[in-house]
């Protein structure tokens, strides 16, 4: 059988680890022109992060913590290696602060709301209520499902939403005869809607938070509702395109679908506390322009309320996806390091951008993000690309807004859904055994490309018209 390796790592992981160490040390031995000494060091960290995030030799969040640590050791004011004269070293605490970045607090609020929704079955109950108007025709039911999944995915993790709703559609699938293509459509519509829905709010998916965090660092504040106004309309368009695609490419022979959701509204006092907290939080997020309370602060409201009232038990608190927050924090720290050491300008300088149209650049960013995150984690993609994208946008010779640049990368990574490994929701759909890779690649690929075109070429026009990109 396979040879035993004492470290317990598979061959890919071992190779990844060796490569990462190699990548880390390359800039220490090769000097690049126009790149500062600290820039070299961060380049090493960056390349190491690329390898580790692609190979997943160590867990994604472990890479994130390593980035923070190495940034502090190599380029902060408390660096272990001597720093050149004239380099304005960021404080070591600024790297630690990435772990408490307001965007993380916003995301944490999203976690609590999602956990509460799952705990009190609010997701399934609302789905049951909301699905009623869509009747029983297969196409309508599927549209209803996709809209509901997208809405939940805006506030809950894409994975949790997919899992919850896959459980709802599996019985429907089981009632269809074998070979009916409606089975594939149903199994695919859930992850697609979840992935697309994730774009909708800053808390929808980690790349959004990474983009927002990087923009915050660059001094650009985007409110919860502003994000939604910019994204949701186009998100809905993509969703409808996806729906039509599924209905046409994979039509069912069934006359009706019957979706049975086994859930009743929890009317306990605790449930009511949660309903009210969730409603108030979301309302405050939507109305930020009216009261000016930042979404991160609002996001802390459900955290405090649900902990104080013990709606979230200690055990549930411990089992939250803290690793996601660490991953986002690592990305923010990396962006910080890249920006502060001038690595970003050096990297951008490697390519002659002036010959390119802004649309081309935006399209390239989005496409790279899409391709990257088709293979590796969406968050890791955003972590690597967002710092570069934002500095690209802030460099004077390039006519593209940093907001658009960051959003394109976030959206690009959310649009990646061509392969089972692209996102956990796809993996769930694939692992139900109802979908084959080629079908997923076809539908996911088309949606990715169509979504990219819509966001890169149509959205900016609308944003400009509405004055949303005003710096």
Partner 1 sequence: MNRIVIVCVEDEAEVREAVVRDLAPFKPLFRIEAAEDVEDALAVLREVAVDEEPVGLVLCDHLLPGKRGVDFLIDLQNNPAYQTTRKVLITGQAGLDDTVRAVNQARLNHYIAKPWQPADLQAVVRKELTDYVLATQDSLIPYIAILDGPRLLDAIAQRG
Task: Indicate the residue among 162 and 414 with the shorter CB distance to partner 1.
Answer: 162
Report yes or no: 68 and 329 within 8 Å, Cβ to Cβ: yes
Nearer to partner 1, 65 or 391 (CB): 65
Which one of 90-98, 266-274, 376-384, 430-438 is the stretch in contact with partner 1 (CB under 8 A)?
430-438
* Using rule CB under 8 A, residue 114 touches partner 1: yes
- Residues 241-273 as b or e (16 or more Cβ within 10 Å = b): bbbebbbeebebebeebebebebeeeeeeebeb
Q: Shortest gap between Cβ of 362 and partner 1 (angstroms)?
A: 32
Residue 444 CA: distances (Å) to CA of 247, 423, 432 = 14, 11, 17
User: Is there binding between residue 428 and partner 1 (CB under 8 A)?
Assistant: yes
Exactly one of 86, 179, 269, 433 binds partner 1 (CB under 8 A); which one? 433
Residue 120 in contact with partner 1, rule: CB under 8 A: no
- Return the range that interacts with partner 1 (CB under 8 A); candidates 138-146, 290-298, 317-325, 335-343: 317-325
Can residue 194 be called a binding residue for partner 1 (CB under 8 A)?
Answer: no
Q: How far is the CB of 127 from partner 1 (least distance, A)?
A: 12
The Cα 302–Cα 285 span in angstroms is 12
CB of 171 to partner 1, least distance (A): 9
Nearer to partner 1, 95 or 152 (CB): 152
Minimum distance from residue 8 beta carbon to partner 1 (Å): 6
**How many residues in the chain?**
471
Q: How many CB atoms lie within 10 A of CB 309?
A: 13
The reply on whether position 318 binds partner 1 by CB under 8 A is no
Residue 302's φ and ψ, nearest 5 degrees, are -60, -30
Choose, by CB under 8 A, the member of 35, 70, 156, 416 that binds partner 1: 156
DSSP category for residue 4: P
Contact 139, 145 (CB under 8 A): no
If one asks whether residue 1 binds partner 1 (CB under 8 A), the answer comes out as yes
Judged by CB under 8 A, does residue 167 bind partner 1?
yes
- Quick check: 178 binds partner 1 (CB under 8 A)? no
Q: Is 166 in the site for partner 1 (CB under 8 A)?
A: yes
Return the number of the residue (203 or 362) whose C-beta is nearest partner 1: 203
- CB burial of residue 130 (10 Å; 0-12, 13-18, 19+): middle
According to CB under 8 A, which one of 104, 118, 390, 393 is a site residue for partner 1? 118
Q: Give one DSSP letter per residue of 21-47, joined into a string.
A: HHHHHHHHHSPPTT--HHHHHHHHHHH
User: Cβ of residue 213: shortest distance to partner 1, in angstroms?
Assistant: 20
Q: Select 99 or 427, whichever has its Cβ closest to partner 1.
A: 427
User: Under DSSP, is residue 401 helix (H, G, I), strand (E, B) or coil?
Assistant: coil
DSSP code at position 309: T
Residue 293 vs residues 65, 188, 224, 290: alpha-carbon distances, Å: 30, 38, 10, 9
Half-sphere exposure of 323 (CA within 13 A, CB side): 9
Whether the CB-CB separation of 36 and 303 falls below 8 Å is answered with no
**Which of 24, 46, 111, 455 contacts partner 1 by CB under 8 A?**
111
Q: What minimum distance in Å lies between the beta carbon of 138 and partner 1?
A: 22
Read off the DSSP letter of residue 134. G
Q: Which is nearer to partner 1, 115 or 336 (CB)?
A: 115
Q: How far is the CB of 215 from partner 1 (least distance, A)?
A: 25
CB of 232 to partner 1, least distance (A): 23
Rank residues 35 and 166 by Cβ distance to partner 1 and give the closer one: 166
Question: For partner 1, which residue of 58, 241, 320, 446 counts as binding (CB under 8 A)?
Answer: 320
Using CB under 8 A as the binding rule, whether residue 163 contacts partner 1 is answered as yes
Smallest gap from residue 418 Cβ to partner 1 (A): 17
CA distance 144 to 146: 5
Alpha-carbon distance 217 to 220, whole Å?
A: 7
Q: Cβ neighbours of residue 139 under 8 Å, at least 6 residues apart? A: 243, 247
Residues forming contacts to partner 1 in the complex (CB under 8 A) are: 1-2, 4, 8, 10, 111, 114-115, 118, 123, 156-157, 159-164, 166-167, 170, 319-321, 424, 427-428, 431-433
């Amino acid at each position: 059988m396979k040879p035993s390796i004492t470290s317990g790592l598979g061959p890919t992981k071992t190779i990844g680890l060796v490569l990462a160490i190699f990548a880390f040390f390359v800039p220490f031995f090769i000097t690049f022109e126009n790149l500062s000494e600290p820039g070299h060091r961060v380049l090493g960290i960056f390349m190491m992060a690329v390898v580790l995030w692609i190979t997943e030799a160590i867990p994604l969040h472990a890479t994130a913590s390593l980035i923070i640590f190495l940034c502090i050791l190599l380029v902060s004011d408390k660096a272990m290696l001597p720093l050149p004269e004239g380099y304005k070293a960021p404080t070591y605490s600024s790297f630690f602060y990435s772990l408490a970045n307001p965007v993380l607090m916003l995301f944490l609020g999203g976690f609590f709301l999602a956990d509460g929704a799952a705990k009190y079955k609010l997701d399934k109950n609302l789905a049951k209520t909301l699905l009623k108007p869509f009747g029983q025709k297969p196409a309508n039911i599927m549209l209803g499902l996709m809209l509901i999944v997208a809405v939940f995915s805006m506030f809950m993790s894409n994975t949790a939403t997919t899992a919850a709703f896959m459980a709802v559609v599996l019985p429907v699938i089981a009632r269809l005869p074998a070979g009916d293509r409606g089975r594939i459509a149903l199994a695919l519509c859930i992850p697609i809607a979840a992935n697309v829905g994730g774009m909708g709010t800053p808390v929808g998916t980690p790349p959004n938070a990474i983009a927002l965090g990087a923009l915050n660092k660059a001094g650009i504040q985007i409110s919860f509702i502003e994000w939604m106004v910019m994204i949701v309309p186009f998100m809905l368009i993509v969703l409808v395109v996806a729906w039509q695609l599924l209905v046409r490419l994979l039509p069912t022979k069934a006359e009706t679908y019957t979706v049975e959701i086994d859930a009743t509204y929890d009317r306990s006092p605790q449930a009511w506390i949660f309903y009210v907290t969730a409603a108030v939080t979301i309302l405050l997020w939507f109305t930020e322009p009216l009261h000016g309370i930042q979404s991160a602060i609002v996001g802390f409201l459900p955290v405090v309320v649900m902990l104080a009232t013990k709606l979230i038990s200690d055990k549930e608190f411990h089992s939250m996806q803290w690793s996601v927050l660490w991953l986002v924090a690592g990305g923010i720290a990396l962006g910080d390091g890249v920006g502060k050491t001038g690595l970003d300008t050096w990297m951008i300088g490697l390519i002659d951008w002036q010959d390119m149209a802004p649309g081309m650049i935006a399209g390239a960013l989005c496409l790279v993000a899409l391709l990257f995150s088709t293979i590796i984690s969406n968050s890791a993609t955003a972590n690597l690309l967002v710092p570069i994208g934002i500095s690209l946008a802030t460099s004077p010779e390039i006519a593209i807004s940093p907001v658009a640049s960051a959003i394109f990368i976030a959206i690009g990574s959310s649009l990646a859904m061509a392969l089972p490994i692209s996102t956990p929701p796809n993996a769930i759909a694939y692992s139900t055994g109802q979908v084959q890779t080629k079908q997923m690649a076809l539908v996911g690929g088309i949606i990715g490309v169509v979504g990219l075109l819509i966001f890169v070429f149509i959205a900016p026009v609308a944003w400009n018209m509405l004055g949303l990109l005003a710096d």
